[in-house]
Amino acid sequence: MDTANENKMGIMPVGKLLITMSLPMMISMVVQALYNIVDSVFVSRVSEDALTAVSMAFPLQALCIALGAGMGVGVNALLSKSLGAKDNDMVNKSALNGLFMTFVSYLVLLVIGIFAVKPFYMIQTDSADIIQYGTDYLSVICCFSFGMFFQFTFERLLQSTGRTFQTMITQTVGAVTNIILDPIFIFGYFGVPAFGVKGAAIATVIGQIIAAVLALIMNIKVNTDIDFSLKGFKPDIKIIGMIYKVGLPSIIMQSIGSVMVFCLNKILIVFSSTAVAVFGVYFKLQSFVFMPVFGLNNGLIPIMAYNYGAKKKDRMIKTIKCGLLIAFSIMSVGMVVFELFPDAILALFEASDNMLAMGKVALRTIAIHFPIAAICIVLGSAFQALGNAVYSMFVSIARQLVVLIPVAYALSKLGNVNYVWWCFPIAEIMSLTITVIFFIKLKREVIDKI
């Protein structure tokens, strides 16, 4: 074999390759999680209603992320597979059609930001303060989401060609920008008006736009595997279909997460707005544990897709094994931290005595499922990399809609909010069972036949 022109994803030792590709993304994901937490820490100092409003924004905000990230997953898998198969024409067409659909996705969110944000809050609560805080925050996030969408796509183009160090730079710059601007725009420093909750949204979109511009520059300067010339470009329905064959299940999976959070907020608000705030704080905190694993996942997918295209079965299996070991270790550490230090964690959010008492039980109960989730996430990356993302979609639907929400609703009828949190470990056990069954099927029908 001529290794001189071989991409590192086909020749570098698997353990070293996975660390090389995933570590920059894991670091950048930790920074992303950090700024999400800092965002809520600053907002909590406005008021508990402000924190609740930002928590209630999550379902619609997650929809924005789902559209961008899901489409990016499809581009990532198709482009990496095309690289492995040495199909340079398909590499370029995948990139350009992905960028076209990125713009289309932004137009959808612009319409939502203009017309749907206030009604979205009004069906969740009748608190005028929460509705106002939420409308101020979410309108900015949606209407200026072009930064987020193009950041996702340009970073995925770098990731799919093995240039993950550059994505670490772009994500870190965006996140640090957000962290710096948060207090300036929320509380009004250096002559800037105090925008309150809206300031958190302004800081977020500025960070995303800066990261998107930087990611574009990185692609133009260093991504030699892709030709970004738009000369003669026309949207290709077939290629867009191939992108969404992998990406649509991911979009649906993350959108299902939005539905799950929306429904759980509706269940929790019956107890109190504090219960919703606790759930929102949990979601911010758990990102600090899950984001590194998602960063690992972003490294796993192009490695597996490349070696699938190159028909290198042993490297695919080694990648999965290494991924499982790393993800399980990260999630186990996260579980231990949540179990031992819930008081210190909640104190960051100006938690009242009521919120502290409720939050301690919530964090300790929900964290039980972290190590189980690690296995599901890594095996799910194999489904996406090999073009069977529909398996991941099915598992996600079963976990969040078929099990988690009905169980949460049933437990809420016992009259104690502390019982509701058990819906997460229960749903994750079911998720693991189905994921393992699908993976055994995938291994037998696809991997073993390579």
**pLDDT one-digit tens code per residue, 59-99:** 888 788 888 878 887 887 788 778 777 777 777 888 888 88
Round the CA-based radius of gyration of the chain to a whole number and report it: 21
pTM reported for the whole predicted model = 0.77
Residue 81's CB is within 10 A of a number of other CB atoms, namely: 27
Burial 336-367 (b: 16+ CB within 10 A, else e): ebbeeebeebbeebebeeebeebbbbbbebbb
Residue 10's Cα: distance from chain center in Å? 27
Confidence (pLDDT) at 256: 83
Digit-coded pLDDT (tens) for 160-193: 777 878 888 898 899 889 999 999 999 999 999 9
pLDDT of 412 higher than 90 = yes
In angstroms, the CA 80 to CA 75 distance is 8
Q: Are 31 and 176 in contact (CB under 8 A)?
A: yes
Coil, helix or strand for 359?
helix
Digit-coded pLDDT (tens) for 290-326: 988 988 887 888 888 888 777 788 888 888 888 999 9
Quick one: how many helices (H) and strands (E) in the chain? Answer: 19, 0
Digit-coded pLDDT (tens) for 113-152: 999 999 999 998 889 999 999 999 999 999 999 999 999 8
- Closest to 153 in 3D by CA, of 200, 106, 89: 106
3-state helix, strand, coil in the chain (%, to 5): 85, 0, 15
pLDDT tier for residue 397 given thresholds of 50, 70 and 90? confident
Digit-coded pLDDT (tens) for 240-260: 888 888 788 778 777 888 889
pLDDT of 25 higher than 80 = no
* CA-to-CA dists, residue 243 to 160, 167, 189, 300, 303, angstroms: 13, 21, 44, 18, 17
Confidence (pLDDT) at 403: 95
**Angle in degrees, CA 42, 47, 53, rounded to 5:** 85
In 155-211, at which residue ranges do the beta strands (DSSP E only) sit?
A: none
pLDDT of 218 higher than 60 = yes
Burial class (CB in 10 A: 0-12, 13-18, 19+), 264: buried
HEC string for 89-130: HHHHHHHHHHHHHHHHHHHHHHHHHHHCHHHHHHCCCCCHHH
Residues of the chain with pLDDT > 70: what percent? Answer: 97
pLDDT of 110 higher than 90 = yes
